[in-house]
Amino acid sequence: MKKILFTRYLVEQQRDHGHIPSQLRLLLEVVARACKGISQAVNKGALGGVLGTAGSENVQGEVQKKLDIIANEVLIEANEWGGHLAAMASEEMDGIYVVPNRYPQGEYLLLFDPLDGSSNIDVTVSSGTIFSVLTRPEGASGVEEKDFLQPGHQQVAAGYCVYGPQTTLVLTVGDGVAMFTLDREQGSFVLTEENVRIPEDTKEFAINMSNMRHWDQPVKRYIDECLQGKEGPRSKDFNMRWIASMVADVHRILTRGGVFMYPWDKREPEKAGKLRLMYEANPMAWLIEQAGGAATNARQRILDLQPTKLHERVSVVLGSKNEVERITRYHTEA
């Protein structure tokens, strides 16, 4: 069988479907190359001296791992000089990073969570890089934080790279979802799955059950009904998975279906949720929708939410369509 490499996939998307302008293709190739670098660093683990905390906190008050900072630097250094970007934003940086004057500025804005699920790294469980691409609003001369505050349906590309037993890059440019597995001997991402589809029904849910006592009533109702299994109102047994790495949980859902929830809870009621809208929820929501699933904040479609700040948090329910619709209905009815 002929191997289709990431570059060829992008060229064909550009030539045959008109989905990818050349600057966007360059951007995606650069992101993929950066992910290879991050994958190598993650793989080396203790041998590379990269495990453990960096002794600093990010803007959200979370302890930064050494690899959070390394992954952030890899993405910035790879992307700043190519001329395809105007600015970047990251979970690990307080404000936006405008491309320095010494380099040409392009039309695109890149947002990323450089290493999501980094608390899993030291215990050698999967983590990943999540990214989202927007276009700079037309007519703007400089670039400011408010230029990033666009609803998720305006993304022009989104994806993630999961660093697990395999390193797999998952991408959408609005024409379905494709998966590319890293061939380490060749150093290239090879197309291994196209037109990914999520089954509409599922028997598998993912939620951090240790927060149960803090949940809102509709979340309790949904999980309680799942736990009752065959004898309960759902008349089927459910299975539970929680990897504590959104990238890995979403990858499982894209592969075999399921539903993932990180809902608002009473621990910190002023926060809408734990996950960040712009570089975690939006790219994942678009991938999930592109694969036939659904994604809401338990009430509304995530991709329609108007962000008000860069590091905004959001409640997340995503995955198999019928389950997401049910959970959303439980909330709107309550």
Residues of this chain that bind ligand AHM (CB under 6 A): 62, 91, 113, 116-118, 208, 244-246, 262, 274
Q: Which does 208 bind (CB under 5 to 8 A by kind): Mg ion, ligand AHM, none?
A: ligand AHM
The rounded distance, in Å, linking the Cα atoms of 320 and 318 is 7
Q: Which does 245 bind (CB under 5 to 8 A by kind): ligand AHM, Mg ion, none?
A: ligand AHM
How, if at all, do strands 204-206 and 239-240 pair?
A: parallel
List b or e across 63-96, with b for residues whose CB sees 16 or more CB atoms inside 10 angstroms.
Answer: ebbbbbbbbbebbbebbbebebbbbbbbbbbeeb
Closest CA to 151 of 310, 279, 302: 302
> Which of 86/246 has CB closer to Mg ion?
246
| Shortest Å distance, C-beta 62 to ligand AHM | 5
> Which of 69/223 has CB closer to Mg ion?
69
Q: Name, in order, each residue with C-beta under 8 angstroms of 152's C-beta and a sequence gap of 6 or more.
A: 132, 277, 281, 282, 283, 285, 286, 302, 303, 304, 305
| Shortest Å distance, C-beta 88 to Mg ion | 16
Q: Which does 265 bind (CB under 5 to 8 A by kind): ligand AHM, Mg ion, none?
A: none
> Which of 196/318 has CB closer to ligand AHM?
318
Phi-psi region of 190 (alpha: psi -120 to 50; beta: other; left: phi over 0): beta
Q: Which does 279 bind (CB under 5 to 8 A by kind): ligand AHM, Mg ion, none?
A: none
Q: Which does 62 bind (CB under 5 to 8 A by kind): ligand AHM, Mg ion, none?
A: ligand AHM
Q: Which does 195 bind (CB under 5 to 8 A by kind): ligand AHM, Mg ion, none?
A: none
Q: Which residue's beta carbon is nearest to the bound Mg ion?
A: 116
Residue 141's alpha-carbon distances to 52, 94, 103, 106, 136, in angstroms, are 41, 22, 16, 11, 10
Side chain identity, residue 117: G
Q: Name, in order, each residue with C-beta under 8 angstroms of 18's C-beta and a sequence gap of 6 or more.
A: none
| Shortest Å distance, C-beta 277 to ligand AHM | 13
Q: Which residue's beta carbon is nearest to the bound ligand AHM?
A: 246
Phi-psi region of 251 (alpha: psi -120 to 50; beta: other; left: phi over 0): alpha
| Shortest Å distance, C-beta 238 to Mg ion | 26
The rounded distance, in Å, linking the Cα atoms of 274 and 234 is 28
Side chain identity, residue 137: P
Q: In what order do the strands lie in the sheet with 294-296?
A: 239-240, 204-206, 259-262, 316-319, 294-296
Terminus-to-terminus CA distance in the chain, angstroms? 53
> Which of 113/289 has CB closer to ligand AHM?
113
Q: Which does 84 bind (CB under 5 to 8 A by kind): Mg ion, ligand AHM, none?
A: none
> Which of 113/323 has CB closer to Mg ion?
113
Side chain identity, residue 66: K
> Which of 154/208 has CB closer to ligand AHM?
208
> Which of 85/246 has CB closer to ligand AHM?
246
Q: Which does 79 bind (CB under 5 to 8 A by kind): ligand AHM, Mg ion, none?
A: none
> Which of 118/167 has CB closer to ligand AHM?
118
Sign of the four-CA dihedral 197, 202, 206, 207: positive
| Shortest Å distance, C-beta 244 to ligand AHM | 4
Q: Name, in order, each residue with C-beta under 8 angstroms of 119's C-beta and a sequence gap of 6 or more.
A: 65, 244
| Shortest Å distance, C-beta 111 to ligand AHM | 13
| Shortest Å distance, C-beta 71 to Mg ion | 11
| Shortest Å distance, C-beta 208 to ligand AHM | 4
Q: Give the residues lining the site for Mg ion (CB under 5 A).
A: 113, 116
